[in-house]
């Protein structure tokens, strides 16, 4: 059976005059036919001799050109002078990119759309515009192509708002995804919409890195929070302490060691030796001598940081016997600045979640407790985990987010494959901690952790969804691993160029619409979607706390002054929660 039946000329656009792999050019005979063409509109060409295969294309450009052609002139007999004469003629052409083919599937007894192209159309084949009932029929084919069990509904197609737009949920997370868009374009709504639909699955497992507390009121999510200064309520299950012994050697160095110092190498070596000694002592004190042969410097084993500092102080002040009496030891005075930096960190209450965590977080089995808190699933309140990092100091934010991601990845890596459940990271505001150009060791540690996940996470069931308003500032290595792009409005030229590099050349024309799309509209391209398209995202039922403030409207209200004293106290306490009266 034929997918399309064009009974009159109202759908005919013209005939093919040029074919080049995925690009074709249509010669349009009249201005009336040319007016049928719209940039971004779908067209179709039936393969010659294949009644059950229709090629689908997207109009890139509509051209009406005036061309000068030689003109035939009559000359008088015996006149030997050649006369060059030309006349203007109009040539109407339409440039089209082939997007795929709709083929009859005998086994399923229906048409299915595929982006693969086994054949190209013949010269002079007729091209038809898809509109009205024909467009609805094709969009129905697109909607039915997805496996309903694995389909994630995002919204509706802009080409036909009656047709629901789906992406393949498996491929969206298997191949990583990037959700990009300028501020105010609808990123947070899109994230919330994906989270809301994911939460309806029996055992979905997503971890949201929330930097501004935008998702802290989602009722279907398990809310976790990195505690602020002086928050030591061990019974508050929403608090997530991250004791310092979870940091690997590179991360601990990024917090304490200044690589520009002349003695930096000695500082690193001695700190590593001291930490190794303390981890060994912890294992011996807890009767875990079976691990003494296998543990390493980076093994997540508790140790006493006070003992490490004590050894550094001893070496920094050490005196040894010399030929003429006491003299300075080999490291005397080498660690003075290091000790000052360490004391400054430890005494800063903003870092309490690292250095002043409750005793139960410094036990041998506490890592399993932390992993269960951030990775558990199974009921609706456990499927989506939102971790609020809004009170983490900005200077160590990248390494802390990288620490959480690394812990989850490593636990996932060492989990038995048969019981391993996939987990996806939603990296909100990724440009703040995954920068393209790492400016300091703290940022480098975070980028390294996420680059490893981007490259290898797929094999162990760890996926990334990078969310950013400045894709040009995000690590190119991480973005290059994202095979699914959901791009909302982007107005910055550098950001548009970054997205353009992520897509094949045949789809560049789609990006021309990025600066002019409406709020909540997204260009969806990648392995998870059959037809690269503009989609109107369905707003979530539960909105994130990201709405843009209406300045002019609020200024028209008659209101009283806010509680400045409370705001100042919150600033001093580094905590935005209201104090108990």
Residue 571 lies in a domain: no
Least confident of 78-87, 482-491, 518-527: 78-87
- Exposed e or buried b for every residue in 445-465, given b needs 16+ CB within 10 A? bbbbbbeebbeebbebbbbbb
- Residue 350 within any structural domain of the chain: no
Task: Give the DSSP H or E segment for 494.
Answer: helix 493-502
The answer on 198 and 98 residing in a single domain is no
Question: How confident is residue 19, by pLDDT bands cut at 50, 70 and 90?
Answer: very high
> Are 369 and 252 in contact, with CB atoms under 8 Å apart?
no
In whole angstroms, what separates CA 398 from the centre of its chain?
16
Mean pLDDT score of the chain, rounded to an integer?
A: 87
Of 465, 365, 467, 370, which is closest to residue 423 (Cα–Cα)?
465
Burial class (CB in 10 A: 0-12, 13-18, 19+), 182: middle
Predicted confidence band of residue 282 (pLDDT cuts 50, 70, 90): very high
Same domain assignment for residues 268 and 316: yes
User: How many C-beta atoms lie closer than 10 Å to residue 412's C-beta?
Assistant: 20
% pLDDT > 90, the chain: 47
Mean pLDDT of 404-414: 94
102-106: average pLDDT = 87
Q: Could you tell me the pLDDT band of residue 323, with boundaries at 50, 70 and 90?
A: confident
448 and 519 assigned to the same domain: yes
Write down the pLDDT at residue 513: 82
The residues, any chain, with a CB within 8 Å of residue 306's CB and separated by 6 or more, are none
3-class DSSP state of 338: helix
Give residue-wise pLDDT tens across range 21-43.
889 999 999 989 999 998 888 99
- Work out the percent of the chain whose per-residue pLDDT is above 70: 92
Query: How many helical (H) and strand (E) elements, i.e. helices and strands, does the chain have?
Result: 17, 20
Q: Which pLDDT score is estimated for 343?
A: 94
Residue among 233, 16, 231 nearest 123 (CA): 16
CA atoms within 13 A on the CB side of 266: 15
Q: Residue by residue, what is the 3-state secondary structure of 51-95? A: CCEEEEEEEEEEEEEEEEEECCCCCCCCCCCCCCCEEEEEEEEEE
Lowest mean pLDDT among 91-95, 207-211, 460-464, 550-554: 550-554
What are the structure tokens assigned to 511, written together? 């990006």
Structure confidence by residue, pLDDT tens digits, 112-138: 888 888 888 999 999 999 988 888 888
Q: How far apart are CA 138 and CA 255, in angstroms?
A: 57
238 and 264 share one domain: no
Check residue 118 and give its pLDDT.
Answer: 81
Whether residues 387 and 499 share a domain: the answer is yes
Question: Domain for residue 378, yes or no?
Answer: yes
Residue 564's φ and ψ, nearest 5 degrees, are -65, -35
Residues 418 and 505 in one domain: yes
Q: Is residue 371 a contact partner of residue 408, using CB atoms and an 8 Å limit? A: yes
Q: Residue 104 is inside which H or E element, if any?
A: strand 86-105
pLDDT at 114: 87
Q: Looking at residue 511, what is its pLDDT?
A: 77
pLDDT band at 73 (very low <50, low <70, confident <90, very high): low
Residues 39 and 178 in one domain: no
* 420-467 pLDDT per residue, tens: 899 999 999 999 999 988 778 888 889 999 999 999 998 999 999 999
pLDDT at 69: 66
pLDDT > 70? residue 398: yes
As beta bridge partners, residue 90 has: 66
Pairing of strands 384-388, 221-225: parallel
**CA distances, 60 to each of 29, 41, 99, 123, 234 (Å):** 18, 8, 12, 19, 60
Q: Give the Cα separation of 476 and 325 in Å (integer).
A: 59
At residue 379 the predicted structure's pLDDT band, cuts being 50, 70 and 90, is low
Question: Which DSSP category does 495 fall into?
Answer: H
Q: How confident is the model at residue 578 (pLDDT cuts 50, 70, 90)?
A: low
Does this model's pTM top 0.95? My answer is no
Phi, psi (deg, nearest 5) at residue 58: -120, 130
129/26 Cα distance (integer angstroms): 12
Q: With respect to residue 97, please indicate whether it lies within any of the assigned structural domains.
A: yes
Q: Do 393 and 532 share a structural domain?
A: yes
3 state DSSP class of 501: helix
Percent helix, strand and coil across the chain, each rounded to 5? 35, 25, 40
CA 360 to chain centre: 34
Mean pLDDT value across residues 394-404: 94
What's the pLDDT at 127?
94
SS3 label, residue 382: helix
CATH number of 47's domain: 2.40.30.170
Is 570 within the bounds of a domain?
Answer: no
C-alpha span between 103 and 100 (Å, rounded): 10
More confident: 348 or 509: 348
One domain for residues 380 and 505: yes
What's the whole-number mean pLDDT along residues 103-107?
86
CA-nearest of 122, 141, 130 to 48 is: 122
- Domain membership of residue 573 (yes or no) is no
Q: Number of folded domains in the chain?
A: 3
Residue 451 lies in a domain: yes
Q: Are residues 506 and 381 in the same domain?
A: yes
| Tokens matching residue 209 | 């890195």
If asked whether residues 210 and 178 sit together in one domain, one would say yes
Asked, for residue 152, whether it belongs to a domain, the answer is no
pLDDT value of position 581:
45
- 376 vs 338, residue with greater confidence: 338
Residue 83 has pLDDT above 80, yes or no: no
CATH code, 509? 3.40.50.300
Q: Where are the beta strands (DSSP E) in 299-437?
A: 319-322, 325-328, 384-388, 423-427
Cβ atoms 225, 391 nearer than 8 A:
yes
Q: Among the listed ranges 159-163, 380-384, 396-400, 562-566, which one has the minimum average pLDDT value?
A: 380-384
- Asked if residues 221 and 208 have their Cβ atoms less than 8 Å apart, the reply is yes
For the residues 515-525, what does the mean pLDDT come to? 90
Mean per-residue pLDDT, 142-160: 77
Q: Is the pLDDT confidence value at 500 over 50? A: yes
Domain that holds residue 333: 250-339
d(CA 535, CA 179): 13
What pLDDT is attached to residue 117? 84
Same domain, 208 and 308: no
Higher-confidence position of 14 and 563: 14
**Looking at residue 288, what DSSP letter applies?**
-
| CA distances for 302 relative to 160, 299, 355, angstroms | 59, 9, 12
Show the beta-strand stretches assigned E in 135-196: 151-157, 164-168, 177-180
pLDDT at 580: 47
Other Cβ atoms closer than 10 A to 522: 28
């Amino acid at each position: 059976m034929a997918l399309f039946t064009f009974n009159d000329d109202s759908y005919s656009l013209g005939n093919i005059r040029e074919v080049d792999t995925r690009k074709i050019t249509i010669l349009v005979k009249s201005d009336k036919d040319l007016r049928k063409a719209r940039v971004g509109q779908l067209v179709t060409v039936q393969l010659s001799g294949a009644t059950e295969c229709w090629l689908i294309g997207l109009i890139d450009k509509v051209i009406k050109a005036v061309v000068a052609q030689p003109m035939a002139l009559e000359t008088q007999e015996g006149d030997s002078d050649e006369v060059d004469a030309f006349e203007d003629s109009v040539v109407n052409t339409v440039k089209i990119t082939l997007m795929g083919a709709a083929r009859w599937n005998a086994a399923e007894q229906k048409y299915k759309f595929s982006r693969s192209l086994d054949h190209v159309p013949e010269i002079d084949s007729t091209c038809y515009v898809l509109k009205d009932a024909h467009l609805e029929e094709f969009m129905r084919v697109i909607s039915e192509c997805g496996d309903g069990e694995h389909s994630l509904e995002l919204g509706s197609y802009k080409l036909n708002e009656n047709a629901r737009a789906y992406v393949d949920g498996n491929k969206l997370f298997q191949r990583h995804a990037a959700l990009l868009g300028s501020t105010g374009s609808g990123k947070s709504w899109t994230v919330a919409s994906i989270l809301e639909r994911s939460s309806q699955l029996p055992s979905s497992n997503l971890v949201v890195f929330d930097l501004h507390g935008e998702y802290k009121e989602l009722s279907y999510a398990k809310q976790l929070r990195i505690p602020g200064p002086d928050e030591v309520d061990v019974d508050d299950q929403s608090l997530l302490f991250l004791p310092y012994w979870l940091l690997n050697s590179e991360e601990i160095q990024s917090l304490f060691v200044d690589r520009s110092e002349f003695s930096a190498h000695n500082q690193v070596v001695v700190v590593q030796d001291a930490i190794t000694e303390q981890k060994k002592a912890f294992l011996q004190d807890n009767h875990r001598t079976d691990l003494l042969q296998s543990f390493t410097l980076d093994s997540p084993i508790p140790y006493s940081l006070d003992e490490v500092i004590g050894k550094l102080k001893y070496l920094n002040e050490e005196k040894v016997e010399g030929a003429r009496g006491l003299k300075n030891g080999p490291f005397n005075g080498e660690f003075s600045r290091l000790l000052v930096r360490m004391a400054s960190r430890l005494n800063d209450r903003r870092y309490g979640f690292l250095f002043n965590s409750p005793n139960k977080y410094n036990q041998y089995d506490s890592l399993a407790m932390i992993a269960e808190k951030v990775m558990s699933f199974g009921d609706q309140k456990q499927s989506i985990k939102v971790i609020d990092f809004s009170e983490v100091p900005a200077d160590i934010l990248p390494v802390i987010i990288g620490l959480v991601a690394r812990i989850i990845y490593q636990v996932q890596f060492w989990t038995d494959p048969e019981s391993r459940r996939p987990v996806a990271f939603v990296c909100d505001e990724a440009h703040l901690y995954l920068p393209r150009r790492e400016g300091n060791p703290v940022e480098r540690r975070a980028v390294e952790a996420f680059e490893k996940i981007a490259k290898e996470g797929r094999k162990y069931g760890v996926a990334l969804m990078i969310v950013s308003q400045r894709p040009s500032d995000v690590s190119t290595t991480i973005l290059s691993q994202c095979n699914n792009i959901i791009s909302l409005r982007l107005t910055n030229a550098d950001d548009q160029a970054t997205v353009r590099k992520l897509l094949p050349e045949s789809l560049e024309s789609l990006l021309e619409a990025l600066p002019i799309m409406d709020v909540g509209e997204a260009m969806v391209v990648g392995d998870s979607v059959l037809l690269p398209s503009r989609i109107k995202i369905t707003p979530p039922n539960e909105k994130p706390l990201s709405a843009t403030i209406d300045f002019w409207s609020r200024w028209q209200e008659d209101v009283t002054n806010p509680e400045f004293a409370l705001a100042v106290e919150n600033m001093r306490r580094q905590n935005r929660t209201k104090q108990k009266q």
